[in-house]
Amino acid sequence: MTTGRRSIVPRTKKITFERNQQIVSEIFILVPGRSSQQGCGINEGKFNETYVNATSFVQMNPKDMLRLGIEDDEKIELKSDFGRIEIAVQKAKADELPIGLLFMAYGDLSSRLMGGDTHGSGMPTSKGLDVEVKKV
């Protein structure tokens, strides 16, 4: 019997091309999380440099940066179904991030990409967010 079960495979990557075949935007998975710099920043104060710096960049796999033509410290746009931010990119160290995955420290910017729905759990989906990456 066919049950019509929904696929649980993650959404296929959407790549948008311009006429000259340059990649314009691509869907990534964003994982916000704790970093020790962000943790120390909380203690110094959320309006101080350490916290602001720790929460103001996103890490990307170097191969993804090469493919999209993004340089270290260059600003990109991250857009989810719920919000949009502009943020600087930093190259992830060694093999820390697989291709297609982004990491940034929890903070005001990462929260702007979260939706309000908690799916009956009290917890908004705060990790593993689909975001569209675009050069600014």
Partner 1 sequence: MATAEPEKAELKIVNDATCTFCGCVCDDIQLTVDGHKITKAKKACVLGTSWFLNHEIEDRPPCFIKGQPATVEAGIKEAAKILYQARYPLIYGLSDTTVESQRVAVSIADWIGANLDTTTSVCHGPSGMAFQSAGESTCSLGEVKNRADMVMFWGSNPAESHPRHFTKYSLMPKGMYVPNGRKDRTCVMVDVRKTKSAKAADIFIQIKPRKDFEALWTLRALANDIELDPEQVERETGNPLSLWQDLMDKMKACKYGVIFFGMGLTMTRGKHANSEGILSLTRDMNRHTRFACKPNRGHGNVTGADNVVTWRTGYPFGVNLGRGFPRFNPGEYTASDVLARGEADAAMIIASDPMANFSQPAREHLKTIPYVALDPKETPTTKHAAVSFTVATYGINVPGTVYRMDDVPIPLRPAFDSPHPSDLKILQGIEKEVLALRSAEFAR
Q: Which residues bind partner 1 (CB under 8 A)?
A: 8-10, 29, 31, 33-36, 39-40, 43-47, 82-83, 94-98, 101, 103, 106-108, 111-112, 114-128
* Residue 23 vs 29, nearer CB to partner 1: 29
- Nearest approach, Cβ of residue 1 and partner 1 (Å): 20
Cα 127 to chain center, whole Å?
9
Return the number of the residue (23 or 31) whose C-beta is nearest partner 1: 31
For partner 1, which is the closer residue by CB, 53 or 126?
Answer: 126
- Contacts of residue 121, defined as CB under 8 A and 6 or more positions apart, other chains included, come to none
Query: Rounded to an integer, what distance in angstroms lies between the CA atom of residue 46 and that of residue 29?
Result: 26
Residues 6+ apart with CB under 8 A from 45: 51
Strands 129-135, 23-33: parallel, antiparallel or unpaired by DSSP? antiparallel
CB of 24 to partner 1, least distance (A): 23
Nearer to partner 1, 19 or 94 (CB): 94
